[in-house]
Structure 1
């Protein structure tokens, strides 16, 4: 079968859309596990370990804050809380989804 530059490569197809998406097998197996109560003690312990382990990755001893939102929601919160109406902002569009 002939392919052109618009054909996906042979093998497992990689979707670049919001969803549904193909998952790596380890992720699919993790999703298949039983859920834990997000208000229970196991979740609190898991979150505590996660936050502690993120501090060296971000090279900080300051608290790490998880913002439960999409990337867009986090950016909007950051901008709304640091800018004032009328401020001038330079926005750089980079990456595949920025075009």
Structure 2
């Protein structure tokens, strides 16, 4: 399992459209084969900054998602609302405390 973190900055007038799009697709993304967890975060100070945080079984599962019609549709709709280049990190969880 590994974690994927994606940072996205949106044009302020496009945030509602992003929320609508995320709401419409979040369950399909979360239930995509190999996706184990999905959350969306919003920066407290820079409120046009969002982060997705997801767990994937392995890199192949994420790549299958990134090649899927679902991803191509969602990303195609989302990227036109960006006001900066998105950033993404694939990381291994080292320690988790609950």
Give the TM-score of the pair, scaled to structure 1.
Answer: 0.27
Q: Could you say which structure has the larger radius of gyration? A: 1
Normalized per residue, which structure has more strand? 2
Give the TM-score of the pair, scaled to structure 2.
Answer: 0.27
